[in-house]
Amino acid sequence: MGVSFGCGNDVSMAPQSDSLTAPQPPRVDQVDRTSPQSESAKSPSVPEKPASALELANKLVAEHALLREQQSNVIESFKSKLTEEIGRVSASRKLIKAAYEAHESALVFSDGQTMSATADVMLRLVRELPSHGLSTDRYDLEELERLLAVAKEATEPYKTINATSPGGKSQTLMAVFDKIDAETPVSAVEATLLDSGFTDNDLETLVKVVDYKKSVLDAKKKLNDALIAADVAILNRFFRYLIDFRYRKVAHPFRAMRKPESAWEAFHKKLLADFKTIQFSDLEQEMRGFWPKNPLYEKTRVGLAYYEKLALEVPQVTVATRTFKMGQSGDSVKQLQTRLAQEGYYSGSLTGHFDEDTAQAVRTYQETHQLDVDGIVAAGTVRSMNVPWSRRAEQVRLSLQRWRESDTRDLTGFYIRVNIPQFEAEFWENDTLLRKHRVVVGSNAWEKDPDRGIEGYLNRTMLFSDEMELIVLNPLWHVPKRIKETELDKELEKTPDYYEKHNFTVKTLEDGTQQVYQNSGPGNALGQVKFLFPNEFAIYMHDTPKKQLFKKTLRAFSHGCMRVENPLDLAEFLLERDASMTADELQKTIKTNRERGIKLNTPIPVVIEYNTVGVSSDGHMMFLFDVYGYDKNFEEGKVPLPKHKVQALDG
């Protein structure tokens, strides 16, 4: 077998060439005897001494053995250096070791000669992390850049040496050198040298060849060391990137990880599976696949860049604490116009006169900041306008984190997203928002449940995901025990015929307990339709007779379920889309005033979540009320909150 010590560092497995077979002496019968010379023709001259390359052959074989040992040392050094660099990482050590084992100990971001384009892709992705609201601190960007620079610097000497191999006789001798292996006898080496025109006078040429090959191996070892250090560093950042975009939860009120660094161990198998399936030839697209798919995520990133730029470049105008309305004039109105223009709400002239254009800019601002939309700048609007740009940027960063933790992040097809602070249910088909419905969510009032001896925020709508399976027309309302005892019984004390007036029926069970339900019809608390997605909290969406509540800006009034605006229109849309019932059949069923459930052919994913930043139809960031205080809990380091096993009640 032959070991190559040419321009590269490849190990040649080609069999020994026939050219290295030692020359055989001529047979006796091959000697020419046809022209015997006379004694007089013979010359008494001294025979010429034959050329020798034996010393050169011996030295070449010896140097070849030494270089094979050096080559072996380079290979062993690669393995030990890889083990050493893996040992330098802490939390990710086990995962990175497993990844290299799965990759047969080959480098991931290098071809062994230079860092590949995928290394630059990962570096760029890490540099862009602030645009996702993520800090690069845990990625040690400066160290990563240093290691990549060292690797690129180490590449140049190795390239230069390979590009400047010796020429002339040295190149010919190097070809001989590369043909032999440990089993080639010295006699065969000498014969090949002689055939190639080399003698013992060419020892200096051998020195040049050996020095060159040693320099190649030295450069290769240095290059390997640099490539390995950079490769392990990038792979470590690669896994951290996956953790941050798919697995790490720090903001969810109830699912936030108490020890975020435990994600390395908790998601070891999933991260390794991701590593094995990713197509590194298309790494950028693959990594983008870990970003939330909903288009509002990218729009929120744009919003973050906008507010960060404002915070850095635009001195924020402070709006005077007073009331502004149509018809007023003065410098304070001009300041108001300037402030609206700074955030992109006003594009008119700074006249100092509160005209219709100014009022419309105020109304648009109020819409996107969850304020009463009246075009009048009162105390609430002033407080909102005077929130610093930097604070708005912080809110957007938290919003991006909530998007990364959202159960919608990987959803495709048709699904429902309910954002509690937005008081809306959104209906999505892939990246297209098909429709929105206002909802009333659970109240944030502090409640007591004497029967169970508990108190707390018992009416908050819980955060969870499930699938809508059933739509019930003309539903009965089975009154939860807590509502019966804390609300209906009090009404009975004041109005003895309360149940009769409001269409309630009382049913006594065999154990003597009473069940109260409200019959279908006008005034039923669930209205004419409810949308069921069975869950442990008994939460669902339904109609309501209290339609006036949908006019409120902040709509947190229920016992936990979500009351939806225009529910029959929504039911018609969902049932026709599912091919379960036509619009005519729906209307006929409603007129019967009898309860009927329609099972959906295709269940619909439903995600109920919490995000206090949204995006308006014209691209403005929407800053929403922290109705349950979950943002405050996060900022105060109080998440995850304790999980109370409290049943969410109808209402």
Domains, the chain, ordered by start: 51-285 (no CATH), 317-387 (1.10.101.10), 402-476+520-635 (2.40.440.10)
Q: Report, as an integer, the average pLDDT of 326-339.
A: 96
pLDDT at residue 30 tops 90: no
- State whether the Cα torsion 639-644-645-648 is positive or negative: negative
Cα gap 625→607, rounded to integer Å: 20
Residue with tokens 């845990």: 138
- State whether the Cα torsion 114-115-120-126 is positive or negative: negative
pLDDT, mean over the chain:
90
pLDDT value at position 80?
A: 96
- State whether the Cα torsion 372-375-378-380 is positive or negative: positive
pLDDT value at position 494?
A: 87
Stretch among 15-24, 495-504, 529-538 having the lowest mean pLDDT: 15-24
pLDDT at residue 445 tops 70: yes
Q: Report, as an integer, the average pLDDT of 627-631.
A: 97
Digit-coded pLDDT (tens) for 516-531 = 888 898 789 999 999 9
Digit-coded pLDDT (tens) for 64-81 = 999 999 999 999 999 999
pLDDT value at position 338?
A: 98
pLDDT band at 369 (very low <50, low <70, confident <90, very high): very high
pLDDT band at 46 (very low <50, low <70, confident <90, very high): low
384 token code pair: 């909102």
Residue with tokens 């049943």: 647
pLDDT value at position 502?
A: 85
pLDDT value at position 508?
A: 85
pLDDT at residue 2 tops 80: no
Stretch among 24-33, 251-260, 352-361 having the lowest mean pLDDT: 24-33
Cα gap 649→459, rounded to integer Å: 7
The vertex-592 CA angle with 529 and 477, nearest 5°, equals: 40
- Cross-strand pairs, 329: 353
556-558/424-429 β-pairing: unpaired
For 295, counting Cβ atoms within 10 Å of its Cβ (0-12 exposed, 13-18 middle, 19+ buried), the class is: middle
pLDDT value at position 649?
A: 43
As a whole-number percent, the residues of the chain with pLDDT over 70 amount to: 91
pLDDT value at position 542?
A: 97
pLDDT at residue 29 tops 50: no
Digit-coded pLDDT (tens) for 381-396 = 999 999 999 999 999 9
199 token code pair: 């003698």
Digit-coded pLDDT (tens) for 184-200 = 999 999 999 999 999 99
pLDDT value at position 44?
A: 56
Is the Cβ–Cβ distance between 8 and 220 less than 8 Å?
no
pLDDT value at position 45?
A: 59
504-508/477-478 β-pairing: unpaired
pLDDT value at position 11?
A: 33
Q: Report, as an integer, the average pLDDT of 582-586.
A: 96
pLDDT value at position 591?
A: 94
pLDDT at residue 165 tops 90: no
pLDDT band at 97 (very low <50, low <70, confident <90, very high): very high
374 token code pair: 């009246």
pLDDT value at position 497?
A: 85
pLDDT band at 489 (very low <50, low <70, confident <90, very high): confident
pLDDT value at position 19?
A: 37
pLDDT value at position 510?
A: 83
Q: 556 CB contacts (<8 Å, ≥6 apart)?
A: 423, 440, 441, 442, 443, 444, 627
pLDDT value at position 480?
A: 83
As a whole-number percent, the residues of the chain with pLDDT over 90 amount to: 79
Sequence-ordered strand ranges (E) for 305-457 = 414-419, 424-429, 432-442, 447-449, 454-456
